């Protein structure tokens, strides 16, 4: 049971008891209220009298209240087990989006906001920023356009919102896979093989391998049969084909909309209010990085190809040994780590049971940022539920719930709620991500409202013989996503609009990426690790049985193993970053056509595959199955980022890395557990969210302008 001082949060957690009907009525109620607020502003205030307090503030308060319900309404589609609820959630999101488009184009409201801006009142910096951003967003919504053009613009926006929702829904509901015989899965870890669904009838004797991460990645890494890896890779690149026309339509419509507003292309429109400001800055950055990475990529391929040739020779196989394929990469990358570095990733995973790793991770964040995480279980859940039914405050029985507090040094106040939803389910969002459920803000009575944030991941489920064990890269992912979660939790802004991770897209990854460095620090790895045989006697016994060992391993990860792991940090790093570059350059390519015809005529699938080959130099099915040429797959159909808000923004993953490495090397490298710096970081950067220019936050924290030096140095490219 939680200590008394942490048992009474000043704000109850939200409930997850919606029905398909209630989702729609609630949404309608939110929309009506919001429309009333705007109507009443327009009715009661004239441009001559318009002030921040009378025009912006009522809308901002309404936005706040809308957000604490709307995010959850939309969240059901990512996590509910009930397909009717997911559908209703999708439907509700459409209604909200459409309403957002309508109200974002209201001329009568814009006139008042424009009048407020002209008035140049003395405002606090965050309110001033709200005013400027709001004003700008109306212009970006086409209010400068005349009649038919404006109608067309609105039509495009609505269609784009529909596309985005359908695209993501198709991804969530994707349920494809392949029937393999056990022989075809030779080499794949037994844990996975034994967990696969067994076929009946015509599939008797076969096993169903899905395209979900816990199935896909280990198979690509370990399946010895190259034809099977190829089949899996190619079919995975061909899933969700309903999304192919949607993707194309989206980029064509975006281009049309940008041109209507007078921009040369969609990227120019999107990047103007980001840190990079212009597509040229982005292209220069990506181009420079590509030039620097290319030679390293070629060298890595040469080495991997030699390894492949040796492997084929040893196994007396006559596969094509002159080329290094996309479906070879995870396999030989893994083999190389085992052969050249004798690194066994499964062995490392034994030291990272999910539950203790999460515990260790939360402890690190407690020390660093002055937080306390208290898991809410059993009776405590009932106490916090308005209905006194603890199951009402989570959306699924797997979900863990924590109340988060400031520690003594930070004043013992309440911080917010954190949820962890860690295992795959049918219909659930298929990647790892952080979702804001309720933002924080200051309400109209001056009272602070606290945030709620959720990590949604897809780690393999525990079995009676083994807990869920995390590969090192999954530990990194967990740190990354929890990094977004912390950013979201400690946000302390006036308006929900700027809360937490509501920063510009080319900065938002930096805080999470910075925390990934903790997973590459020996002291942290040691304190995070705990061999699973120490968790219970059952696990201990199961360990002896499965490993054939007679001696128990050490409890924490041994120093030699840590040293080995660290020595691999940059192995095949150029290829990894070239892959990121492929995504970034593809994104910029489809969003910067020279003319509208160019994008209309572009074969997106071909472009995707061709660019990947040119940038990474890896071969794909284009050289195997000549009939389809470059159009053999359509990776863009599962590239959710480009439809879900990262359009002309994927480069942000790479450019954020510049900031994150700079911050880590400058402030934390010497001592990652420096709590004084951790708290300074929390208060200077994290809690400000998007309420200031991001560059200002960085300069405040670093004490100077950010530099690319640490980034290139870390990549070995300085």
Q: How far is the CB of 511 from Zn ion (least distance, A)?
A: 9
- Residue 610 or 641: the one with the smaller Cβ distance to Zn ion is 641
- How many CA atoms lie within 13 Å of 521's alpha carbon, on the beta-carbon side? 20
Q: How far is the CB of 361 from Zn ion (least distance, A)?
A: 16
Close Cβ partners of 650 (under 8 Å, ≥ 6 residues apart): 583, 584, 587, 641, 642
- Residue 110 or 664: the one with the smaller Cβ distance to Zn ion is 664
Q: Is 694 a catalytic residue?
A: no
- Residue 380 or 509: the one with the smaller Cβ distance to Zn ion is 509
Q: How far is the CB of 333 from Zn ion (least distance, A)?
A: 22
- Residue 350 or 509: the one with the smaller Cβ distance to Zn ion is 509
Q: Are 343 and 564 in contact (CB under 8 A)?
A: yes
Write down the catalytic residue from 93, 174, 481, 687. Answer: 481
Q: How far is the CB of 496 from Zn ion (least distance, A)?
A: 20
Close Cβ partners of 378 (under 8 Å, ≥ 6 residues apart): 390
- Residue 496 or 512: the one with the smaller Cβ distance to Zn ion is 512
Q: What string of H, E and C letters represents the secondary structure of 219-259? A: HHHHCCCHHHHHHHHHHHCCCCCCHHHHHHHHHHHHHHHHH
- Residue 517 or 529: the one with the smaller Cβ distance to Zn ion is 517
Strand, helix or coil for residue 138: helix
User: Rounded to an integer, what distance in angstroms lies between the CA atom of residue 524 and that of residue 522?
Assistant: 5
Q: How far is the CB of 484 from Zn ion (least distance, A)?
A: 6
Sheet holding 177-180, edge to edge: 177-180, 207-210, 197-198
Helical (H) or strand (E) element with 449:
strand 448-449
Q: Is the dihedral of CA 427, 429, 431, 432 positive or negative?
A: negative
Q: Is the dihedral of CA 664, 666, 667, 672 positive or negative?
A: positive
Q: How far is the CB of 579 from Zn ion (least distance, A)?
A: 16
CA triple 19-24-28, angle to 5 deg: 145
Q: Are 568 and 473 in contact (CB under 8 A)?
A: no
Strand, helix or coil for residue 437: strand
- Residue 512 or 572: the one with the smaller Cβ distance to Zn ion is 512
Helical (H) or strand (E) element with 186:
none
Q: State the first-to-last Cα distance of the chain, in angstroms, to the nearest integer.
A: 52
- Residue 11 or 512: the one with the smaller Cβ distance to Zn ion is 512
Q: How far is the CB of 518 from Zn ion (least distance, A)?
A: 15
User: Rounded to an integer, what distance in angstroms lies between the CA atom of residue 393 and that of residue 230?
Assistant: 44
Contacts with Zn ion by CB under 5 A lie at 509, 512
Q: Are 111 and 48 in contact (CB under 8 A)?
A: no
User: Rounded to an integer, what distance in angstroms lies between the CA atom of residue 4 and that of residue 475?
Assistant: 32
Q: How far is the CB of 515 from Zn ion (least distance, A)?
A: 10
What residues are annotated to the active site?
481
């Amino acid at each position: 049971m939680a200590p008394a001082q942490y048992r009474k949060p000043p704000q109850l957690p939200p409930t997850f008891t919606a029905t398909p009907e209630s989702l729609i009525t609630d949404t309608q109620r939110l929309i009506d209220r919001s429309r009333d607020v705007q109507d009443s502003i327009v009715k009661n205030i004239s441009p001559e009298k318009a002030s921040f307090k009378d025009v912006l503030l009522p809308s901002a308060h309404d936005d706040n209240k809308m957000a604490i319900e709307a995010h959850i309404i939309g969240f059901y589609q990512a996590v509910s087990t009930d397909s009717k609820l997911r559908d209703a959630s999708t439907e509700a999101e459409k209604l909200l989006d459409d309403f957002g488009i309508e109200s974002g184009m209201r001329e009568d409201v814009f006139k008042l906001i424009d009048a407020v801006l002209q008035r140049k009142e003395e405002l606090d910096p965050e309110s001033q920023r709200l005013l400027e951003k709001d004003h700008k967003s109306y212009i970006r919504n086409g209010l400068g356009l005349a009649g038919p053009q404006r109608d067309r613009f609105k039509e495009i926006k609505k269609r784009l919102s529909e596309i985005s929702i359908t695209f993501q829904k198709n991804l969530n509901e994707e349920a494809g896979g392949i029937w393999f015989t056990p022989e075809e899965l030779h080499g794949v870890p037994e844990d996975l093989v034994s967990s696969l669904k067994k076929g009946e009838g015509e599939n008797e004797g076969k096993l169903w391998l899905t395209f979900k991460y816990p199935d896909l990645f280990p198979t690509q890494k370990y399946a010895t049969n190259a034809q099977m890896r190829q089949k899996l890779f190619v079919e995975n690149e061909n899933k969700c084909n309903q999304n192919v026309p949607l993707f194309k339509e989206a980029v064509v419509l975006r281009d049309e909309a940008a041109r209507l507003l007078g921009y040369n292309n969609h990227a120019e429109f999107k990047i103007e209010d980001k840190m990079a400001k212009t597509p040229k800055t982005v292209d220069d950055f990506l181009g420079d990085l590509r030039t620097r990475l290319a030679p390293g990529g070629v060298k890595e391929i040469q080495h991997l190809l030699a390894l492949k040739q040796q492997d084929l020779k040893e196994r007396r196989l006559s596969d094509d040994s002159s080329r290094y394929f996309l479906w070879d990469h995870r396999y030989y990358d893994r083999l190389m780590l085992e052969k050249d570095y004798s690194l066994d990733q499964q062995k490392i995973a034994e030291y990272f049971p999910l539950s203790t790793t999460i515990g260790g991770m939360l402890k690190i964040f407690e020390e660093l940022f002055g937080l306390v995480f208290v898991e809410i279980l059993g009776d405590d859940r009932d106490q916090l539920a308005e209905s006194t039914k603890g199951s009402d405050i989570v959306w699924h029985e797997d979900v863990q719930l924590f109340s988060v507090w400031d520690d003594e040094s930070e004043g013992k106040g309440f911080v917010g709620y954190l949820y962890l939803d860690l295992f795959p389910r049918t219909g659930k969002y298929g990647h790892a991500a952080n979702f804001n459920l309720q933002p924080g803000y200051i309400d109209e009575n001056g009272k602070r409202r606290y945030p709620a944030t959720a990590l949604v991941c897809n780690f393999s489920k525990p079995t009676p013989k083994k807990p869920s064990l995390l590969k090192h890269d999954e530990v990194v992912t967990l740190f990354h996503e929890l990094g977004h979660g912390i950013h979201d939790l400690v946000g302390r802004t006036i308006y929900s609009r700027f809360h937490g991770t509501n920063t510009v897209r080319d900065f938002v990854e930096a805080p999470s990426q910075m925390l990934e460095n903790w997973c590459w620090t020996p002291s942290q790895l040691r304190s995070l690790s705990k061999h699973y045989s120490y968790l219970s006697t059952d696990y201990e016994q199961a360990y002896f049985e499965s490993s054939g060992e007679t001696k128990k391993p050490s409890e924490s990860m041994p120093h030699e193993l840590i040293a080995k792991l660290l020595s691999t940090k940059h192995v095949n790093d150029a290829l990894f970053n070239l892959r990121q570059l492929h995504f970034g350059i593809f994104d910029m390519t489809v969003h910067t056509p020279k003319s509208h015809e160019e994008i209309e005529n572009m074969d997106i699938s071909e472009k995707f595959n061709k660019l990947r080959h040119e940038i990474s130099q890896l071969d794909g099915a284009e050289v195997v199955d000549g009939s389809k040429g470059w159009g053999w797959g359509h990776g863009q159909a599962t590239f959710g980022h480009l439809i879900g808000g990262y359009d002309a923004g994927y480069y942000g993953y790479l450019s954020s890395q510049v900031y994150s490495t700079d911050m880590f090397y400058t402030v934390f490298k010497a001592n990652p557990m420096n709590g004084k710096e951790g708290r300074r970081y929390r208060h200077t950067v994290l809690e400000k969210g998007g309420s200031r220019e991001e560059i200002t936050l960085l300069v405040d924290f670093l004490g100077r302008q950010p530099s690319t030096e640490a980034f290139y140095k870390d990549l070995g490219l300085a």
